[in-house]
Chain A
Amino acid sequence: MENIVNALNEKFADQIVSIETLYDFPVILVKKERIVDVIDHLYNHPETKFQYLTTLCAIHYPEQSQIAVMYQLHNLESNQRVRLKIYLSDFRPVTPTITHIFSAANWLERETFDFFGVNFIGHPNLKRILNVEEMIIFPLRKEYPLEDQTREDKNDTMFGRSA
């Protein structure tokens, strides 16, 4: 944990918003502007060398009108993991791609675009991957509920389920 913070403080001290540990997993919230530089720095820095992208996904927070994008990196040599998080506006979310650092990010970013509409600038082939191309919504956003809202037969308010 300290090595990550030290490595980040060398160049990106002003980019760190918060550092915490959630269930033995270090989570660093960074500003969205220079996320690619931060990841690149952690990739190359001899103290961290996070050269394995475990996963990447987005989370929608409609109350805050925000979409969080999390990057989970792993250093296989020292067996250290870190989760970087950025917050974007949920109206036309835009962030640069990291496909030039990790080839694995290609489909993961496409999936995030497919489900949340996050536009990864510079992505070589940003189009829908799991859903049909004709789809016009981003289904994992919270404004699209799973069930048809006009249905009344499932309105089971007695058990805490309103619609």
Chain B
Amino acid sequence: MSEKYHDSDIVVPEEKQYSYLNLGPTHPATHGIFQNVLKMDGEIIVDSEPTIGYIHRAFEKLAERRPYNQITPITDRLNYCSAPINNIGWHMTVEKLLGVEIPKRVQYLRVIIMELARITDHIICNSVIGVDTGALTGFVYIFQQRELVYEIYEEICGARLTTNIGRIGGFERDFSPKAWEKIDKFLKIMPETLKEFESLLKRNRIFMDRTIKVGGITAERALNYSFSGPNLRAAGVDYDVRVAKPYSSYEDFDFVIPIGTNGDVYDRFMVRQEEMWQSLSIIKQAIAKLPEGPYHADVPEFYLPPKEEVYNNMEALIYQFKIVMGETDVPKGEVYHSVEGGNGELGFYLISDGGRTPYRLHFRRPCFIFYQAYPEMIKGSMLSDAILTMSSMNVIAGELDA
């Protein structure tokens, strides 16, 4: 203490006392590993500082040493709720680089798989919004249907969550009759359950009170933050990669892009809900129009030959060896390809220097880009609304941290 007081020594106490709350990294309500240091005034959030990177696995670096077919399992682990979209998006990127013509049947089969994946992704997000508002019932009902989709994946590729589905050029085998049976079963059961789930929440007074005008963002801010996918569409911008730059024959199908008006939790919920209906319709259209033909493109450098040919055919043996050892060179080039993932525009920016591995691979992860708007979206809201905002944005830790 100095003996003499100066004016500058007198500190006016701050009028408000703020408390700091660590939300995460391992908090059961955040559905993933997210840390947010919240500056709280009572129960109102004044400011927040997100920390990410808890499950960073250096995918972009790993990809620089892996042959192209070995990168597919990496993409599984981006948005693991809709892994097939990531897999197929990556395959299409490589096919674009190689300039391969993909048979129509493969494109339609891919559409079926990708729309199934979109449904599972939205099931998780929407049912979890329900859980966070206190409605566990819908979650329990609709998760059975997610199980049905996983059984379809199992029938097609053998895996459930991290699917590694398909190959560069198409699929490793045609869909089995059992797989078609399961798809039919799903298409029969899902509309009923989805309707039931929707009626549990859509006009539910508690749910509406909790979600309407909560965690909203305007279209201008959403665009400035480069939102994409359902979160952007909920804010009222009809940007969908499936329509803006159709891939895999999406132009053949008739579907609607639902948009919201307020960009709040309720709009995001409703947009996802409507997208599930649209996805079901796309799957039905794809099955109805499914053309006959080969289930993979003619890319022997990337497509494992059948075993009997490997033993009897010199070329097949060479290709088998090159693929297994990962020694296939690809042309030089720089290519960007994006697909509409569960959360928005999932882009692959690939630079090849002609070697066996990419020179540089950059993933445009929608979660990583829109999660940075989170502090702005929860500013001034209650803590419980912040949890709801996060779950309605469907931030997937795997995609966020790459």
Contacts and interface: CB of A to CB of B under 8 A. Distances in A.
Given A22-B333, A146-B62, A146-B65, A102 B224 contact: yes
Nearest to A70: B349
Query: Which secondary structure characterizes the binding site on chain B?
Result: mixed
Interface of A: 22-23, 25, 27, 51-55, 57, 59-60, 70, 72, 76, 79, 83, 102-104, 106-108, 111, 115, 128-132, 139-140, 146-147, 159-160
Interface stretch (B27-35, B296-304, B361-369): B361-369
Given A22-B333, A130-B52, A146 B61 contact: yes
A107 B401 CA distance: 12
A54 to B, nearest CB: 6
A157 B346 CA distance: 36
B347 A23 contact: no
Contact of B369 (A23, A83, A104, A160): A104
A129 B52 contact: yes
B182 to A, nearest CB: 36
A157 B373 CA distance: 48
B61 A140 contact: yes
A128 B52 CA distance: 10
Given A130-B402, A146-B64, A107 B372 contact: yes
Contacts of A25: 335-336
Contacts of B288: none
Contact of A159 (B58, B327, B349, B372): B327
B58 A139 contact: yes
Interface string B222-241: 01111000000000010100
Nearest to A83: B336
A110 B237 CA distance: 27
Contacts of B64: 146
Contacts of A70: 349
Nearest to B63: A146
A159 B226 CA distance: 43
A107 B65 contact: no
A147 B349 CA distance: 23
25 contacts: A23-B333, A23-B334, A23-B335, A23-B336, A27-B334, A51-B223, A54-B347, A55-B349, A60-B360, A70-B349, A72-B347, A76-B237, A76-B244, A79-B244, A103-B373, A104-B224, A104-B226, A106-B372, A107-B372, A115-B60, A130-B53, A146-B62, A146-B65, A159-B327, A160-B356
Contact of A104 (B58, B65, B336, B372): B372
Given A55-B349, A72-B336, 9 more contacts: A53-B226, A55-B364, A59-B359, A72-B364, A76-B223, A76-B244, A102-B226, A131-B56, A146-B64
Contacts of A130: 52-53, 56, 401-402
A23 B401 contact: no
The 3 closest A-B pairs by CB, nearest first: A104-B226, A130-B53, A55-B364
Nearest to A114: B53
Interface in B218-272: 221, 223-226, 237, 239, 244-245
B307 interface: no
Q: Number of contact residues on B: which range applies?
A: 35 or more
A54 B364 contact: yes
A83 B356 CA distance: 25
Contacts of A106: 372
A79 B53 contact: no
A54 B56 contact: no
Contacts of A111: 368
Given A27-B334, A55-B364, A79-B244, A147 B226 contact: no
B351 interface: yes
Contacts of B314: none
B237 A104 contact: no
A134 to B, nearest CB: 13
Nearest to B62: A146
A35 B327 CA distance: 39
Contacts of B76: none
B225 A104 contact: yes
Nearest to B401: A130
B349 A52 contact: no
Contacts of A131: 53, 56
B325 interface: yes
B347 A55 contact: yes
Contacts of B402: 130
Given A23-B333, A23-B335, A130-B402, A54 B62 contact: no
A70 B402 CA distance: 19
A128 to B, nearest CB: 8
